[in-house]
Amino acid sequence: MRKLSIVALSLVLLLTACAPNFQKQQEVVQKKDDATKEKAIIPKYKISDKYYRTIMPFEPGSARGMVVNNLNTRYDITEFETGLMRIAQNSFSTDQYVFKEGQYLDGDTVSAWLAREMTPAQVKAKEEELRAKQENKNKDVTVENLGLNPIDTGTGDIKTRNEKNPIYLAHILEHDYLVQSGKEGTYQLGGIAIGLALNSIHYYRTEEFGAVYEKNITRSELEAEGKKIAKQILSRLRNIEELKNIPITIGLFEQESRSSVVPGNFFAFTEVSQGSNDIGNWKEVKEEYILFPSDKAEKEHRDDLTFFENFKQDVEAYFPNYNGVIGKGFYLDGQLQELNIEIPIQFYGKAEAIGFTQYVTGLVMEHFPNYVTVQVSVSSVLGQEALIVKKPEQDEPFVHIYE
């Protein structure tokens, strides 16, 4: 009994020593400018090299929440933000930089930049409208013409105007990255990343509450307009005193349609060195999400679709008349990196859910190549039932059954 107690105590001490210490934090000084300093905390523990540590206390972005209204789907919202972090890692290492939500572009600024550019007549009319609303009718009113989307003259057929001048820019997202300055424990702004979400489809109405029409925008057209908008945004950012000499990375994101069940992706980015007002070369980003099964998967990734279809067929053999396995594949440089699979199903007991999870785990190990990360989520009307994760070169997957 005594030997057993010693072994148990040794095991506890070993686990205690190996476990990450979430309590230890690094207290630092956040330097905002030459005269302003604030105490902040940076967590010492980083869950992965894929992610940045975040400066605490968390300070919401100045344009927080706008992305929800400006992008088409929750898939695009998530990918736009996480994708911009991946883009930023080309310029700002996760080992040296810490993340902070954007503090320089507030909601009013973003809204003004997302608007259509106005004609001189429209500017004048807007100023007269605002002047009429104020008490002192003789007081000067100046309207800044900051819209980055194409002009709509307001004359002629609405459908023709929208077809010729679609809305290209859907949203602007800012991420700030802080880096340690000369003095240890002092952090200051070291760079910013700007994401430009661009529409692959322009939606519009010809009358209030009327039918919604669609104007498809080609990638080449979108890319040309996105790069033109990026130049204007860079110029405006350099007019902000704190950003005059800060490295800036700008990424172009193509969002999917409102009905899409996979997100869009970043397709190009550029890095602007500190103090520069010019955009040099753009770098191609070869990222893409593919739905399984789909015509696109069959046309462009037939081998991967075969893996998925064989898995799907075996899953469906477990329950007669069942057809509900959906996959989302993430491709980088044309190579499948991650495959997330959703299996919604009706269970009639916990034992059935456990048995099904064990069966699916075996199928994951059997059907998919060893270089791909596979994540399978099993759910029912009661919520999540199980999660299976198989990492590359992993002999055994991680399996969690929700209680």
Residue 316 has phi, psi (to 5 degrees) of -70, -20
Contact 55, 100 (CB under 8 A): yes
Contact 249, 176 (CB under 8 A): no
**Identity of residue 274:** Q
Segment 102-133, tens digit of pLDDT = 999 999 999 999 999 999 999 998 988 888 88
Compute the residue count for the chain.
403
pLDDT of residue 37: 56
| pLDDT top residue among 18 and 143 | 143
CA–chain centroid gap for 99, Å, is: 14
| pLDDT top residue among 85 and 2 | 85
Cα 302 from Cα 299, distance rounded (Å): 6
Question: Dihedral sign, CA of 41, 22, 390, 344?
Answer: negative
pLDDT of residue 8: 36
pLDDT of residue 322: 76
Domains of the chain with bracketed CATH = 32-285 (3.10.570.10), 290-401 (3.30.300.190)
Is residue 30 very low, low, confident or very high in pLDDT (cuts 50, 70, 90)? low
35: pLDDT strictly greater than 50: no
Query: For residue 305, how many other CB atoms are within 10 A of its CB?
Result: 21
Q: Which residues contact 127 (CB under 8 A, 6 or more apart)?
A: 141, 142, 143
Cα 239 from Cα 233, distance rounded (Å): 10
What are the tokens at 210? 């009327």
Segment 74-110, tens digit of pLDDT = 999 999 999 999 999 999 999 899 999 999 999 999 9
Segment 246-299, tens digit of pLDDT = 999 999 999 999 999 999 999 999 999 999 999 989 999 999 999 999 999 999
Give the 3-state secondary structure of residue 396. coil
What are the tokens at 226? 């996105």
- Average pLDDT of the residues in 395-400: 94
223: nearest Cα among 269, 259, 292? 269
Segment 302-341, tens digit of pLDDT = 999 999 999 999 998 888 767 789 999 999 999 999 999 9
Burial class (CB in 10 A: 0-12, 13-18, 19+), 396: exposed
Is residue 69 very low, low, confident or very high in pLDDT (cuts 50, 70, 90)? confident
What are the tokens at 30? 């956040």
Report DSSP letters for 114-178, one per residue: HSBP--HHHHHHHHHHHHHHSS-TTS---------BPP--S-S-HHHHHHHS---EEEEEEEEEE
pLDDT more than 70, % of the chain: 87
Segment 216-227, tens digit of pLDDT = 999 999 999 999
Entry pTM? 0.85
CA–chain centroid gap for 264, Å, is: 9
Helix (H) or strand (E) holding 367: helix 350-367
Characterize 205-242 residue by residue with b for buried, 16 or more Cβ atoms within 10 angstroms of its Cβ, and e for exposed: eeeeeeeeeebebeeeebbebbbebbeebbeebbeeee
**Identity of residue 342:** E
- Average pLDDT of the residues in 162-172: 96
Give the 3-state secondary structure of residue 221. helix
Contact 126, 117 (CB under 8 A): no
Helix (H) or strand (E) holding 361: helix 350-367
Chain-wide mean pLDDT for the chain? 87
Please, what is the Cα angle at 134 between 133 and 137, to 5 degrees? 105
- Average pLDDT of the residues in 41-58: 72
Q: Which residues contact 310 (CB under 8 A, 6 or more apart)?
A: 367
Contact 374, 304 (CB under 8 A): no
pLDDT of residue 22: 40
pLDDT more than 90, % of the chain: 67
pLDDT of residue 148: 97
